[in-house]
Structure 1
Amino acid sequence: MTKTAPDISLPRGVSDFLPETAAKIGYIEAKIRRVFELWGFRRVITPKLEYEDVMAIGMGDELKGKTYRFDDRQTGRLLAFPPDITPQIARIVATRLKSWPLPHRISYSGRVLRQTEMQTGRSREIFQSGVELIGLDSPEADAEMIAMAVEAMQGLGFDDFKIDLGQVEFCRGVMAASGLSGAPLRELQEAVARKDSSAVAKVLAESNVSADACREISVLPRLFGGREVLLEAERVVTNSRSRLALENLRQVLDILDIHGVSDFLTIDLGETRGLDYHTGITFEGFVSGLGEPVCGGGRYDTLTARYGFPAPATGFTFNILNLLQALERQPEVEACTTRDFLLFNCCNDRREVLEVARLLRVKGFTTARDIIRREYDSSVEYARRMNIRC
């Protein structure tokens, strides 16, 4: 009787990262972490498990729906794998750091798990490296996040990338003027996010929306581009909430101009991402040839208050695997996967070769010993296949 081999495959949506890929991930994370350090951010390490009800305090419905939950045998409470690190930072600030002086400049790096639909093919594991600036409500704080993202992208070797800026209060003001709610409002928001003017017109035609509100909403899909977008928005939009948002965005752009990063910016006033979470400036970073964002974030002034510590906040995170996809073939990233030396000896006395290996390591060279006794050509072939230079 033939024994059936056990299924030792991985679950869908997770991966093993072999040495070369792991080295590239480490290289990207280290470059980003160094930028965070240079801007004065200090790293925290968050746990891989949280109580589900504690995590839920800081999450919207979308993230709640993507959370892995299971019972804790010790307490009977429901545990969760955090699907995002930002709520964990909010909890830490509200509990462990509440007596510390503000602002908090916190950085983090880690993996989170999210439920995904099988047909999407998306990874369930997300490698995040990000920062949170908690305790400052100012355009300069928002600008600092964006300038830091640009600096990190440049440090990784990108030159063809854009940061898309939005201001959710602008969109909220326009949407509020429509008087829509429920399914029609969600349909309208989705159409605006797709820049689908025809779908926007269809929703408005089927709804009892005033002529003034229709005029403001209809222009949203077109409010994308450079600073001229602000002039167009001011010409069309009259509600005070949206106009205050435009003034805030203008202040942030002025500071970003001082940072010298304006060439990397585009404005998207029809951005509806984060309407249930963000409270002001939002942004996403895109690189040429990759449809998914490599970073994203914005202002979220109400999150820490959910944990009992009201404080304004802004932050952003990099998606490391998306960065890897964009960077994988760059020479600097390829170089981080190589090793310097493979040493072998042709006689029984290993003292000399071990001393040489020690000296090379002292000098900072990666050095492995070819302990197996084999022919010289075999050692050279092994070094070639293992990406060892010498």
Structure 2
Amino acid sequence: MTNPSCIEAPLPKGVSDFLPETADKITFIADSIHRVFELWGFRRMITPLLEFEDVLARMGDELRSKTFRFDDRQTGRLLAIPPDITPQVARVVATRMHALPLPHRIYYSGRVLRQAQMQSGRSREIFQSGVELIGLNSPEADAEMVAMAVEVLKDLGFTGFKVDLGQVEFYRGIMDSSGLGAEVKAQLQEAISKKEVTAVRSILEAAGAPERVKEEISLLPRLYGGREVLKEAARIAGNERSKKALDNLAQVIEILDIYGVAEHLTIDLGEIRGLDYHTGITFEGFVPGIGEAVCSGGRYDDLTAKYGYPAPATGFTFNILALLASMAKRPEVEASSSRDFLIFNKKDERREALEVAQKLRSLGYTCARDIIKRDFESSLDYAKKTDIRMLLVIGAEQCAADQLYLVRVADRRAVAVSKEELFDKGLELKFDQEGENHG
């Protein structure tokens, strides 16, 4: 609830405040992702919030069109807020890490801003956690990205999710060998990206395309499914570029079989997302109940060369807010926003309260002291509203001199415990039927 007497303080469209409960959940999800990244040998990099626009512009026209820009009063140059962290990693690797041995295994986490159409309702602020594997041009490197994404989703407790695999070189080979003009190709690209089979056929008919070209291109939006897609694609692929792309995809899938993640894979050769950016394998991860991808990535062998250091590269990123939308109500995520103890001191002297709090923290528990002077019920209500699990009363009438009074906030069940028992068992203390029910 907002304060009716507060000053008007609206936010720009497309950005949000994240209050502590939500911020705790975002942190929990990000930490879970980073734990997997580190287990796979990746090291964290932190990139700046600002870049010179002409430096960042080398990432390509698609992302450049979504970039926030403004003047730098100090230099007179145009500054930009990055719409994606991958180009920043490419810049750092090319300019500051080129003397180090390859490959570079880098992970990152941060917020980026992207321009969005006002009527779209989409957030302009994106929380990203991703990895970049720079310096390896092999199917195993691409497979590693997909396998790691699957491991993260499993680690987060998802079931029934799918990772769609694409290969943009297959599409490029078919289009380049078609003999069609640039305008017709642009129309087809838009229709294929939307899976509009009828529109694709109409464009080809109007362009007078040969039957072979019609068959190849008309099939693109329908090349979606299991491994049978590879056989169907091989049947129509009449150029070496597309055949090589299919062979690469088959090798990646073969390696993913070793990782044991085949059940989560689908093939989509009509997926042409990021066509001006990716150079090979692409993939997107989808979880039940969410219409947008929670992770996406692929191979991008040309990016570091734009900063003077040619190196093959592959990577992917998670959209943390999309993950949050799909798992915010899960028990383990809900628990991540709770705290352990609130100390309510009924004694005039504060030493015991501070010493107990310090000891609990040294044992790894979160512990706050209710410094405000208020009665028991008010303190219990505060604990409930701020998602604290236990109220620890010092100096309660129900206790002996060497005891503390522990109240479980959720159901008000209480028990008198010694300090030794509390410090030994903490939150694992049993609230049996003999425990009091305060109030």
TM-score, normalised to structure 2, is 0.86
Q: Give the aligned partner of residue 385 of structure 1.
A: 385
| Mapped partners of 1:288, 1:180: distance in 2 | 39
Q: Give the aligned partner of residue 115 of structure 1.
A: 115
Partner SS for 2:28: helix
User: What is the deviation of 1:88?
Assistant: 0.4
Cα deviations by residue, 1:29-82 (Å, 9 ceiling, x for unpaired): 10001111000001000000000000001x221211111111111111111101
Q: Give the aligned partner of residue 250 of structure 1.
A: 250
| Mapped partners of 1:231, 1:45: distance in 2 | 43
Amino acid at match of 2:348: N
| Mapped partners of 1:5, 1:163: distance in 2 | 47
Q: Give the aligned partner of residue 289 of structure 2.
A: 289
Q: Give the aligned partner of residue 174 of structure 2.
A: 174
Question: Which aligned pairs between 1:192-207 and structure 2 lie closer than 5 A?
Answer: 192-207=192-207
| Mapped partners of 2:182, 2:150: distance in 1 | 37
Say whether residues 1:101 and 2:104 are aligned partners: no
Say whether residues 1:51 and 2:58 are aligned partners: no
Question: Which aligned pairs between 1:296-311 and structure 2 lie closer than 5 A?
Answer: 296-311=296-311
Amino acid at match of 1:61: D
Asked which structure has the greater RCO (Cα within 8 Å, sep 6+), the reply is 1
Partner SS for 1:291: coil
Q: Give the aligned partner of residue 32 of structure 2.
A: 31
Q: Give the aligned partner of residue 69 of structure 1.
A: 69
| Mapped partners of 1:8, 1:181: distance in 2 | 52
| Mapped partners of 2:144, 2:136: distance in 1 | 11
Amino acid at match of 1:35: V
Q: Give the aligned partner of residue 41 of structure 2.
A: 40
Question: Which aligned pairs between 1:1-390 and structure 2 lie closer than 5 A?
Answer: 7-57=8-58, 59-390=59-390
| Mapped partners of 1:99, 1:6: distance in 2 | 54
Partner SS for 1:347: coil
Partner SS for 1:354: helix
Cα deviations by residue, 1:323-343 (Å, 9 ceiling, x for unpaired): 110111111101100000010
**8 Å contact kept, 1:299–1:315:** yes
| Mapped partners of 2:12, 2:196: distance in 1 | 37
Amino acid at match of 1:259: Y
Amino acid at match of 1:95: T
**8 Å contact kept, 1:338–1:387:** yes
User: What is the deviation of 1:347?
Assistant: 1.6
| Mapped partners of 2:100, 2:6: distance in 1 | 57
User: What is the deviation of 1:180?
Assistant: 2.7
Choose 1 or 2 for highest CA Rg. 2
Aligned residues: 386
Give the root-mean-square deviation of aligned CA atoms: 1.2
Q: Give the aligned partner of residue 398 of structure 2.
A: none
Partner SS for 2:207: coil
**8 Å contact kept, 1:83–1:112:** yes
| Mapped partners of 2:179, 2:22: distance in 1 | 51
Cα deviations by residue, 1:274-306 (Å, 9 ceiling, x for unpaired): 211111000000011110100000000011001
| Mapped partners of 1:86, 1:52: distance in 2 | 15
Cα deviations by residue, 1:144-181 (Å, 9 ceiling, x for unpaired): 00000000111111112100000000011111122234
Structure 1: which 4+ aligned runs deviate by more than 3 Å?
4-7
User: What is the deviation of 1:184?
Assistant: 2.1
| Mapped partners of 2:323, 2:62: distance in 1 | 24
**8 Å contact kept, 1:178–1:214:** no
Partner SS for 2:368: strand
Change (3 A) 1:352 1:241: same
